[in-house]
A and B are shown apart, each in its own frame.
Chain A
């Protein structure tokens, strides 16, 4: 058993080196943003937004259209009258649609036909939704940062994890080691933990996401004291809060989390009562959104 674990550890280490080597050599093949989503985002960013053009573009991607419809018709929105995609677009509004598009694209990255990746990334996705929800509410209630950017930055802060997981699986297959049960999940997880930020930043750059989103992905463990009220700092704070509330994918040191919360409260000027309010009912809200 010890020998098997050691072999697996070496193999995962080797896979990790291959993938990380590709990243540093700039030879990383990243998931491309679906063309329809890209076109939709461009239409939304156009100052002369044309709803008909947007709806017509959206219709080309059935899954995305369904996601927009479902969101507009959801119980939370209580838009029982929404029956067409055009009505759904009107009901949601531009800001919500933008979030919906990036959320849809991000959610796709967390899906896998491989049960091991699916199970490993499910918790990461729930954690990301918790961070995004908290970041948006904290921004809306306390600071000058854009709450939409905070939501996206929260949702994407760990986006490198599922991509790296898929890359490891691919490399594993190429090495002919795809035997069920060979993998030491702890070592595999640690490989992902050590490399996911670089992959996430590469994706954010490829997808041309705002700098503040990229900054939130590149480092979630230290605040930027030069830019106190920023989306990246809000995501760092929300990340610590989400972990304290149990939305975590790895073992955490409570003192580490307390330190990040203590520093974040002062950095962002957040009252304890605001914190208590944004975390209240978080599990239910995440379950609904995830």
Chain B
């Protein structure tokens, strides 16, 4: 597949060529809109990465001429320009996406593959030996496997649960969603315990996000003991299991045995 990059910066064209070349794409280059149209006249491409501000002919003018000629090649605007009005015009001319400079290789790869309707996972695996890790949503955690991740804004909850678990069961605690997401990028967990009331984020939204990062993990809701029918409520919301706080040692033990039966009490 051929991709045309139209940008007056040779550094940007080189980065694009290297990043997408590693995925097996053939990269054509042009320094401005006029050169870009001339390249297209020699043969079609599958995707155009188009800068906005360039000498001779800018990106919006090239896009306008391209569409006026009936050419519907997908276009991603790749620019340091973040003015809404410019993008409104580009959207009306059917651009597929937008990348703001400076950009990360992951973003470029993801958006190019999406614009070309290609399977991201396949390309990420193919590129794995030579490029940065695959995009977060599909990347496997790089670190160790741990037993339990507890997400609760009250650190004494982590501490209390730790005291109720045998030492052989490994546990990490996080006080907010951001740390929890990072923890799930860094390591694998068998069970993830999520407080149903976390400041700043809806716990179900967080659970769904973590489930994508850790599809193997058992998602356990951490409900208040005073809540009515917490277990049913948690399952309705999509959790696999539920435990209650303040913790009851016997109930925590029952819960622990379900997932870590061989761990010595």
Q: Which of B83, B104, B208 contacts A277 (CB 8 A)?
A: B208
Find out whether the CB atom of B104 lies under 8 angstroms from the CB atom of A78: no
B127 at the interface (CB under 8 A from A): no
B residues less than 8 Å from A185 (CB atoms)? none
Given the complex of chains A and B, what is the CA–CA distance between A76 and B227 in angstroms? 10
How big is the A interface, by class?
A: 35 or more
B residues less than 8 Å from A78 (CB atoms)? 196-197, 223-224, 226-227, 230
Q: Which of A79, A137, A141, A269 contacts B104 (CB 8 A)?
A: A269
Find out whether the CB atom of A148 lies under 8 angstroms from the CB atom of B88: no
Q: Which residue of B lies closest to A273 (CB)?
A: B137
B234–chain A nearest beta-carbon distance, Å: 11
A253-270: contact bitstring with B at CB < 8 Å (1 yes, 0 no)? 101101110110111010
B135 at the interface (CB under 8 A from A): yes
Interface hub of A141, A151, A253, A280 (most chain B Cβ within 10 A): A141
A139 at the interface (CB under 8 A from B): yes
Find out whether the CB atom of A266 lies under 8 angstroms from the CB atom of B88: no
Given the complex of chains A and B, what is the CA–CA distance between A258 and B137 in angstroms? 23
Q: Which residue of A lies closest to B95 (CB)?
A: A262
A interface majority secondary structure: helix
Q: Which residue of A lies closest to B111 (CB)?
A: A266
B residues less than 8 Å from A114 (CB atoms)? none
A222 at the interface (CB under 8 A from B): yes
Given the complex of chains A and B, what is the CA–CA distance between A48 and B117 in angstroms? 56
Q: Which of A77, A225, A269, A280 contacts B80 (CB 8 A)?
A: A225
Q: Which residue of B lies closest to A228 (CB)?
A: B100
Find out whether the CB atom of B107 lies under 8 angstroms from the CB atom of A266: yes
Q: A151-B200, A262-B91 are in contact. Are A141 and B80 (CB under 8 A)?
A: no
Which residues of A from 199 to 228 have beta carbons under 8 Å from B?
Answer: 221-223, 225, 228
A residues less than 8 Å from B199 (CB atoms)? 93, 95-96, 147-148
B128 at the interface (CB under 8 A from A): no
B166–chain A nearest beta-carbon distance, Å: 29
Given the complex of chains A and B, what is the CA–CA distance between A278 and B201 in angstroms? 9
A residues less than 8 Å from B80 (CB atoms)? 225
Given the complex of chains A and B, what is the CA–CA distance between A141 and B87 in angstroms? 26
Given the complex of chains A and B, what is the CA–CA distance between A139 and B103 in angstroms? 20
A49-80: contact bitstring with B at CB < 8 Å (1 yes, 0 no)? 00000000000000000000000000011111
B75–chain A nearest beta-carbon distance, Å: 12
CB-based A-B contact count at 8 angstroms: 105
Given the complex of chains A and B, what is the CA–CA distance between A255 and B206 in angstroms? 30
A251 at the interface (CB under 8 A from B): no
Q: Which residue of A lies closest to B207 (CB)?
A: A277
Given the complex of chains A and B, what is the CA–CA distance between A80 and B226 in angstroms? 6
A30 at the interface (CB under 8 A from B): no
B58 at the interface (CB under 8 A from A): no
A270–chain B nearest beta-carbon distance, Å: 10
Q: Which residue of A lies closest to B225 (CB)?
A: A81
Q: Which of B98, B212, B224, B227 contacts A273 (CB 8 A)?
A: B212
Find out whether the CB atom of A262 lies under 8 angstroms from the CB atom of B98: yes
B residues less than 8 Å from A263 (CB atoms)? 82, 84, 87, 98, 100
Q: Which of B88, B135, B226 contacts A256 (CB 8 A)?
A: B88
Q: Which residue of A lies closest to B181 (CB)?
A: A141
B residues less than 8 Å from A258 (CB atoms)? 91
Given the complex of chains A and B, what is the CA–CA distance between A139 and B202 in angstroms? 12
Q: Which of A76, A148, A151, A277 contacts B205 (CB 8 A)?
A: A277
B189-204: contact bitstring with A at CB < 8 Å (1 yes, 0 no)? 0000000110111101
Find out whether the CB atom of B87 lies under 8 angstroms from the CB atom of A259: yes
B53 at the interface (CB under 8 A from A): no
B3 at the interface (CB under 8 A from A): no
Q: A222-B83, A225-B80, A266-B107 are in contact. Are A140 and B226 (CB under 8 A)?
A: no
Find out whether the CB atom of A267 lies under 8 angstroms from the CB atom of B208: no
B166-184: contact bitstring with A at CB < 8 Å (1 yes, 0 no)? 0000000000111001000
A271 at the interface (CB under 8 A from B): yes
A212-249: contact bitstring with B at CB < 8 Å (1 yes, 0 no)? 00000000011101001000000000000000000000
Find out whether the CB atom of B137 lies under 8 angstroms from the CB atom of A93: no
B residues less than 8 Å from A222 (CB atoms)? 82-84
Find out whether the CB atom of B84 lies under 8 angstroms from the CB atom of A140: no
Find out whether the CB atom of A262 lies under 8 angstroms from the CB atom of B87: yes
B136 at the interface (CB under 8 A from A): yes
Find out whether the CB atom of A147 lies under 8 angstroms from the CB atom of B91: no
Given the complex of chains A and B, what is the CA–CA distance between A75 and B201 in angstroms? 16
B residues less than 8 Å from A77 (CB atoms)? 197
A136 at the interface (CB under 8 A from B): yes
B209 at the interface (CB under 8 A from A): yes
B217 at the interface (CB under 8 A from A): no
Q: Report, nearest first, the 6 A-B pairs whose CB atoms are least far apart.
A: A259-B87, A147-B200, A78-B227, A140-B201, A140-B200, A266-B100
Partner-A contacts on B (CB < 8 A): 80, 82-84, 87-88, 90-92, 97-100, 103-104, 107, 135-137, 153, 176-178, 181, 196-197, 199-202, 204-206, 208-209, 212, 223-224, 226-228, 230
